[in-house]
Amino acid sequence: MSALGPPIIVAANRGPVSFERDEKGELVARRGAGGLATALIGALQEARGIWVAAAKSGGDREVAAGSEGGRIDMHAYGATYGLRYLDIPPEIYDGYYNGISNGVLWFVHHYLWDTPRTPSFGEGTERSWAGYVAVNRMFAQALAEEGDRTRSEPAYLVQDYHLAMVPRFLRELRPQALIAHFSHTPIAGLTYLRTLPGKIREGVLRGMLGADVLGFHSQMWAENFLMSARSLSGVRADLARSRITVEGREVMVRIQPISVDAGPMRAAAATQEVRDRQHELNRWRGNNRLILRVDRLELTKNIARGFQAYELLLKRRPDWRGRVRFLALLSPSRMDLAEYRTYTEECLAEAERVNRELGEEDWQPVEVRVKDDYASVIAAYGLYDVLFVNPVFDGMNLVAMEGPLLNRRGVLVLSRNAGAYWRLGRHALAVNPFDLREMADALETALEMPQAERARRARGLSRLVLTNPPQRWVGRQIEDLERVRRRRASAQTS
Amino acid sequence: MSALGPPIIVAANRGPVSFERDEKGELVARRGAGGLATALIGALQEARGIWVAAAKSGGDREVAAGSEGGRIDMHAYGATYGLRYLDIPPEIYDGYYNGISNGVLWFVHHYLWDTPRTPSFGEGTERSWAGYVAVNRMFAQALAEEGDRTRSEPAYLVQDYHLAMVPRFLRELRPQALIAHFSHTPIAGLTYLRTLPGKIREGVLRGMLGADVLGFHSQMWAENFLMSARSLSGVRADLARSRITVEGREVMVRIQPISVDAGPMRAAAATQEVRDRQHELNRWRGNNRLILRVDRLELTKNIARGFQAYELLLKRRPDWRGRVRFLALLSPSRMDLAEYRTYTEECLAEAERVNRELGEEDWQPVEVRVKDDYASVIAAYGLYDVLFVNPVFDGMNLVAMEGPLLNRRGVLVLSRNAGAYWRLGRHALAVNPFDLREMADALETALEMPQAERARRARGLSRLVLTNPPQRWVGRQIEDLERVRRRRASAQTS
């Protein structure tokens, strides 16, 4: 794709950078991690496109306030794309972000309810939902305005569950818009979606159906969406062709797994900081084999059962005591939600219990480090014998891809309920994340796997990740929209 | 259907009667309640068939031990059908019944997991599963033996999630058997079923696929089964035709909602005992309107949120305080499972809290009675202004049908996630059971509904129940099997 390609406009809750004041008091742009931002920025740079996001930090708001309509020329920061921050009133943002996006949609799509007790929707939900609708309208409005400024109809790339209603609202403003929406989460099945108030369920589903192309990380999530859409009146879904017909329009449902960008990770791995961490970690591990997990402290990540499975292994196979250690690198997440604080305490208590019950004077089975520490993560990726990725449900899971890029002999133990399983499963040891026995078996198999098989699997994993760079993930979405553009143009001329 | 119809053999975990010693020390057969037993006994009586069940009580075991192979001639008890009790060793029965049936399958089909924490499958699950398989094999063996004793190939009617593997095991023993399996629970969607260990998920799904006809109470449960079956290798599912092809056989998927039997209920309502209870209840309610719920103390029944919705109504509309009372008739259930004891405490605490916070000297908003008390239930059915049926998920829900048979002016507030909703929804006030606002709205609307509309809806409900007697539910299953018999016969002669 060259700069002569179609204009691109990205919409995502979070911007590609966040502005903060540095020690000298100057505003600097900090890049977030993650393949998503990398891939989208790459495409935007080439197309000289624009990214629309919600202002998050005080610095974001400051930058937005000092510019026209929140538009920031990123040339000042060495980039060729534009950035527009929406300055959303805090009480509306709270309902949209904490209330609905992370408090309702995240929970439902990851099957996180304790149904006899949660959820309970009340007056607060109603207010939050109004905020969600309002923010989605603000995004749609900004996207429409940006579309007016491009030389031809742009390709809109709308990201994730925060912005599920944007496609529909944008379609109302620009009936001919070319809109792709991508879901980075799982998608709950039809029955489970019935936990949502009808207004929210229909709002989200019909909102997404405003797009021309809907992308998902795995077939399971795509099929769940198709079956749910099929239940709406006036909507026809063709499972075999992965097409939905609504209001005379056709919506393509596509499976487009994202991947991670090898370059920056390998560059980071070569830094002195990471080498120092590796040195420290190597001293710490001594002669022990290393089981590693890297996760946000997130309800979906299945951290406590991970420790329990490891405990089961050590009880069954006492000969592994004193010969293996489990390192959990956990970063705090959503600590403003009570459920997350409770879950964090539970996970830490579980690790402590295992150490108390099985630890010996000179050997502790588990080490938990709670910190946002990218250098240690990159360092640990190079060292693991087993990478343990066992989420209860996960849209994709990028840790399962990052690790193998930096490790040529470690074994991946991977949940069958992560989107990554559909892509990487054949080179991993697959587990049911609710089955302690199966996870303990897999850890044991991984620890005892012959060198040649370990290397073969690790090669297979890194090859799969490398042959599917994040640029390709963006590229396929843009190609799909180009197909829509051509179809629409030929329909108009014929 | 006459006695010249096909022989019928029923398999269900629970028998149609249970034997107990009365005051005089004599063994008597006690009938269980419920439309299922009524319907099946009716069909068995006509066909002089046999019912195979697990011995539950000491009396059951005693009767079984005193007879050949556990076969009991029910003529001695005034019936024309046979009964065969399987005497299952307690430790095997415990794994089959508490471990897998009620501890795993019930939970998964009703979406009851708190996924960050439950389930955790371990060594115990493995042992329980061995018990489940063993008991299902015992049932299949007994059914095959009974089939050898009938004059022609019998129609096998296998009931519910306890016996999900019976169709397959029976098919192995009798390839030409005519087998219907009926699920009285919801059926979880494909993604949620992935919480189960693969062996259990596949065991249950492929087990059921041994049948010729699979019956469900609503389209949602049937579709969930079709989609799950479709994911198995070697299985094709045709959603539009509701057919599954497996191992060269065709399996029909049918929606056959059960109903309740009006006769015995109306007879009970006419007894002096029930009249006495009504008298007592009428004194208790005074001039208050009456909201009624009747449920087992069951995780799926949504009892606590019911009190909370009522509380929300009383807070919004203080003018209803002192003018309405909520009567909850709850019967203890599965008190050997810790989850049920905890839930019971939570529900009672919630009722007490509402009484404490909103009660007045001469008026308590909620009355909870925990007791197995059929006479009070029948009495209360005749008295309610609002019948509140709000399960989180429910295969069918018979309370929603029983009430309207005995009440000509009460309003039904009904969960959209109960199978009964698909049948009765148009005459009920439908609610999302997780939405306190919507439930409070519905209670308010129900309390204030004009007399004429109340009567019209109540008539509509009782008419629907009456036109679909439980005999019809059995009859349709037998007809489906007869169709299979004819198709098989013509395939053999052609």
d(CA A388, CA A291): 7
A-contacting residues of B 399-438, CB under 8 Å? Answer: 416-417, 432, 434-438
What are B419-445's pLDDT values in tens digits?
999 999 999 999 999 999 999 999 999
Q: Which tokens in the block code for residue A42?
A: 């790459």
Closest partner residue to B299 (CB to CB) among A116, A119, A196 is A116
Residues A463 and A477 in one domain: no
d(CA A391, CA B266): 53
- CA A451 from chain centre, in angstroms, equals 32
Assign A51 to helix, strand or coil.
strand
User: What single-letter amino acid sits at A462?
Assistant: S
Closest partner residue to A437 (CB to CB) among B126, B196, B432 is B126
Domain contains A1? no
What are A302-328's pLDDT values in tens digits?
999 999 999 999 999 999 999 999 999
A-contacting residues of B 4-63, CB under 8 Å? Answer: none
Domain contains A104? yes
d(CA B66, CA A241): 62
Assign A294 to helix, strand or coil.
strand
Assign A81 to helix, strand or coil.
coil
- Secondary-structure percent of chain A, ordered helix, strand, coil, rounded to 5: 50, 20, 30
Residue B190 CB: number of other CB atoms within 10 A? 22
Residue A182 pairs with which residues in a beta bridge? Answer: A159, A215
d(CA A465, CA A82): 29
Q: Which tokens in the block code for residue A360?
A: 């010996």
Residues A374 and A252 in one domain: no
DSSP line for B297-321:
S-GGG-HHHHHHHHHHHHHH-GGGT
What are A224-244's pLDDT values in tens digits?
999 999 999 999 999 999 999
Residues A86 and A166 in one domain: yes
A50-54 and A8-11 beta bridge pairing: parallel
Residues B448 and B479 in one domain: no
- CA B102 from chain centre, in angstroms, equals 13
Report the domain count for chain A.
Answer: 2
Residues A237 and A102 in one domain: yes
Beta strands in B311-456 (DSSP E): 324-331, 366-370, 386-389, 411-415, 429-431
First to last CA, chain A: 28
Provide, as residue numbers in chain B, all residues whose Cβ is less than 8 Å from the Cβ of A350.
none
User: What single-letter amino acid sits at B81?
Assistant: Y
Q: Per the CB < 8 Å rule, is B186 touching A191?
A: yes
CA atoms within 13 A on the CB side of A313: 28
First to last CA, chain B: 28
Q: Per the CB < 8 Å rule, is A121 touching B191?
A: no
Assign A175 to helix, strand or coil.
coil
pLDDT, mean of residues A198-226: 98
Please determine, for residue A376, whether its predicted confidence score (pLDDT) is greater than 80.
yes
Whether the Cβ atoms of residue B179 and residue B9 lie closer than 8 Å to each other: no
CA distance B333 to chain A (A): 15
Closest partner residue to B437 (CB to CB) among A113, A123, A223 is A123
The predicted structure's pLDDT at residue B2: 44
d(CA B305, CA B325): 16
B-contacting residues of A 249-288, CB under 8 Å? Answer: none
Domain contains B1? no
Closest CA to B301 of B355, B367, B366, B346: B346
Closest CA to B390 of B289, B288, B308: B308
Domain contains A3? no
CA distance B393 to chain A (A): 9
Q: What percent of chain A has pLDDT over 70?
A: 98
Residue B19 pairs with which residues in a beta bridge? Answer: B29
For residue B79, give the CATH number of its domain: 3.40.50.2000
CA distances from B48 to B3, B478, B485 (A): 7, 14, 20
Residues A83 and A123 in one domain: yes
Q: Which residue of A has its CA nearest to B432?
A: A197
The predicted structure's pLDDT at residue B34: 58
Q: Per the CB < 8 Å rule, is B115 touching A116?
A: no
Q: Is A379 on the interface with B (CB under 8 A)?
A: no
Q: Is B214 on the interface with A (CB under 8 A)?
A: no
User: What single-letter amino acid sits at A367?
Assistant: E
- CA A321 from chain centre, in angstroms, equals 35
Q: What is the pTM of this model?
A: 0.96
Q: Per the CB < 8 Å rule, is A197 touching B125?
A: no
Domain contains A157? yes
Chains A and B: how many Cβ contacts under 8 Å? 137
d(CA B132, CA B123): 14
Residues B73 and B46 in one domain: yes
Residues B172 and B95 in one domain: yes
Assign B9 to helix, strand or coil.
strand
Residues B91 and B207 in one domain: yes
> Sorting pLDDT into bands at 50, 70 and 90, what band is B456?
very high
Domain contains B2? no
d(CA B46, CA B41): 9
CA distances from B97 to A360, B65, B102, B136, B298 (A): 41, 21, 6, 11, 16
Domain contains A192? yes
Please determine, for residue A173, whether its predicted confidence score (pLDDT) is greater than 90.
yes
Triad A313, A318, A324: Cα angle to 5°: 70
> Sorting pLDDT into bands at 50, 70 and 90, what band is A455?
very high
The predicted structure's pLDDT at residue A1: 40
Interface with chain B: mutation pick from A196, A337, A435, A437, highest number of B CBs within 10 Å: A435
Assign A20 to helix, strand or coil.
strand
Residues A278 and A395 in one domain: yes
Closest CA to B468 of B398, B415, B380, B363: B398
Q: Per the CB < 8 Å rule, is A304 touching B435?
A: no
Q: Is B202 on the interface with A (CB under 8 A)?
A: no
Triad A278, A281, A284: Cα angle to 5°: 155
Residue B251 pairs with which residues in a beta bridge? Answer: B244
Please determine, for residue B139, whether its predicted confidence score (pLDDT) is greater than 50.
yes
d(CA B194, CA A66): 51
d(CA B255, CA B221): 9
Reading across the β-sheet that carries A243-246, which strands appear in turn?
A71-73, A82-86, A50-54, A8-11, A155-159, A178-182, A213-216, A249-255, A243-246, A235-238
Closest partner residue to B121 (CB to CB) among A190, A194, A436 is A436
What are B210-228's pLDDT values in tens digits?
999 999 999 999 999 999 9
Q: What percent of chain A has pLDDT over 90?
A: 83
Residues B196 and B306 in one domain: no
Query: Mean pLDDT lowest for which of A251-255, A263-267, A341-345, B68-72?
Result: B68-72
pLDDT, mean of residues B267-288: 97
Q: Which tokens in the block code for residue B64?
A: 């079984």
Interface with chain B: mutation pick from A104, A107, A111, highest number of B CBs within 10 Å: A111
- What range defines the domain where residue A424 resides? 262-467
- Predicted complex ipTM: 0.95
What are A37-59's pLDDT values in tens digits?
777 888 888 888 999 999 988 88
Please determine, for residue A255, whether its predicted confidence score (pLDDT) is greater than 60.
yes
Size of chain A in residues: 494
Question: Can you say whether residue A266 is alpha, beta or left, with left for phi > 0 and alpha for psi between -120 and 50 degrees?
Answer: alpha
Q: Which tokens in the block code for residue B329?
A: 């008739």
CA atoms within 13 A on the CB side of B51: 28
Provide, as residue numbers in chain A, all residues whose Cβ is less than 8 Å from the Cβ of B429.
none
Residues A172 and A281 in one domain: no
d(CA B78, CA A272): 89
Whether the Cβ atoms of residue B366 and residue B374 lie closer than 8 Å to each other: no
**What's the whole-number average pLDDT of chain A?**
94
d(CA B456, CA B451): 9
d(CA B181, CA B176): 15
CA distance A185 to chain B (A): 14
> Sorting pLDDT into bands at 50, 70 and 90, what band is B1?
very low
Interface with chain B: mutation pick from A129, A194, A199, A316, highest number of B CBs within 10 Å: A194
Torsion angle in degrees (nearest 10) through CA of B379, B382, B388, B392: 60
Q: Is A189 on the interface with B (CB under 8 A)?
A: yes
What is the maximum span of chain A, computed from C-alpha positions, in angstroms?
Answer: 81
Domain contains A185? yes
